[in-house]
């Protein structure tokens, strides 16, 4: 069973994150001013929309989590509907509500890390991700070996050069007489 303090510890372990709170005292977590997760008590309209499930899902602390996309949301909702749920308020939005009493710390860490990766600036996210392991026998360079050698990959005919026509115009100015 996770709590808001569990969420705070997990998010604090991610780079460039901060915890803040609203004027009403609700907690939320951000990376570079982009929301990752937030405390989200259910409203009367949420309880009405949940119907019979409201008695079960409405107990305990609810966390809203921003997701990378709607496909992730759909898979979470179908994977464990007793933990992940949504209300009509979040229809079409890539976020899901999480019943903290029903989620373990390992799953919560994975969920929050995915949310962080989706919202963090690219340079921060790339620095955080561990390097991919190289396949056995692969060269030690950063790029995989291309057929024909590395020179062939960098020096394709015409790569990086503009071509000119018989009047000396380059391909960038040929179509309309101005750079694209």
Whether residue 124 contacts residue 23, with contact meaning beta carbons closer than 8 Å, is answered with: no
Q: Cβ distance 39 to 97 under 8 Å?
A: no
SS3 state of residue 23: coil
Enter the DSSP assignment of 69.
-
With the CA atoms of 27, 30, 34 and 38 taken in that order, what torsion angle do they form, in degrees rounded to the nearest 10? -30
Q: Which domains does the chain have, with CATH numbers?
A: 4-21+31-125 (3.90.1150)
Provide the edge-to-edge strand list for the sheet that holds 34-39.
Answer: 17-21, 27-31, 34-39, 62-66, 95-99, 84-85
pTM, two decimals, is 0.70
Q: Cα–Cα–Cα angle for 153, 154, 157, nearest 5°?
A: 90
Per-residue pLDDT of the chain (180 residues; tens, 9 = 90+): 899 999 999 999 999 999 999 889 999 999 999 999 999 999 999 999 999 998 888 788 999 999 999 999 999 999 999 999 999 999 999 999 999 999 999 999 999 999 999 999 988 988 887 666 666 766 655 555 555 554 444 445 555 555 555 555 555 544 455 555
């Amino acid at each position: 069973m996770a709590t808001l303090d569990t969420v705070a510890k997990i998010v604090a372990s991610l780079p460039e994150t901060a915890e803040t709170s609203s004027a009403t005292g609700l907690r939320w977590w951000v990376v570079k001013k982009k929301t990752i997760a937030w405390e989200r008590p259910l409203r009367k309209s949420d309880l009405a929309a949940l119907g019979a499930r409201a008695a079960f899902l409405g107990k305990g602390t609810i966390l809203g989590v921003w997701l990378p996309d709607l496909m992730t949301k759909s898979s979470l909702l179908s994977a464990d509907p007793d933990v992940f749920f949504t209300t009509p308020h979040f229809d079409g939005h890539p976020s899901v509500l999480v019943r903290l009493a029903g989620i373990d710390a390992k799953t919560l860490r994975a969920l929050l890390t995915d949310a962080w990766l989706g919202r963090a600036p690219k340079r921060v996210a790339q620095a955080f991700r561990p390097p991919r392991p190289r396949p056995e026998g692969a060269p030690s360079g950063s790029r995989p070996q291309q057929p024909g050698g590395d020179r062939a990959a960098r020096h394709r005919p015409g790569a990086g050069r503009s071509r000119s026509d018989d009047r000396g115009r380059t391909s960038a100015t040929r179509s309309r007489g101005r750079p694209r």
